[in-house]
Amino acid sequence: MTNSRLIPYQPLDLSEPADLVAEIRKRRGGQFINLDRMLLHSEPFARGWNVFIGNVREKLSLDPKLRELGMCGVAVLNGAEYEFFHHAPPFLKAGGTQEQVDAMRQLGQKQFNPSCFNDLEKDTLELTAQMTRDIKVDPKLMERLQKALGSTAVVELVGVIASYNMVSRFLIALDINPEDHPPNA
């Protein structure tokens, strides 16, 4: 924690509201991350976030690799290192490679080389870039994704990218920094 933090993190040993703290800790494998510690300044916001983002992280039928690819892409494009710090390990666990993680660091820049990604992954990154930077999405890209994934997965992928744009904006505005060690996956 920096001395210049306008809004301090809630303490790691926070115990109230007990039911919400227990729900968050359960979802996080027993611990809090700095994002939780900031969200807990507002009980209603923390409750809603925990349910909503918990569903995005754990209940979608979307391939976890594509989900984490979208999340990491948003993180890079928005400069949300905290988000990348937390989503690169699950991307690797879902079948991504370190080469892809390294390549993603260049997303949105001229030196970005997508050669280590398959066509669907490239389209996922392109969707992420278009939604994050331009908001409007090329209909031809959506047609390719619809053909490859079907309606449910496309809706979920768009929802993931939209949700994690919200997350990155929250993280950046409140200067939420990565913890010393990533949480349990």
The full set of domain ranges for the chain reads 18-58, 64-173
pLDDT of 14-31, one tens digit each?
Answer: 999 999 999 999 988 888
At position 11, the amino acid (one-letter code) is P
C-alpha neighbours within 13 Å on the C-beta side of residue 27: 21
Q: State pTM to two decimals.
A: 0.91
Residues 6+ apart with CB under 8 A from 173: none
Specify the CATH number for 64-173; select among 3.30.70.1560, 3.40.1160.10, 1.20.1290.10, 3.40.50.2000: 1.20.1290.10
Assigned token pair, 40: 């807990």
pLDDT of 70-103, one tens digit each?
Answer: 999 999 999 999 999 999 999 999 999 999 999 9
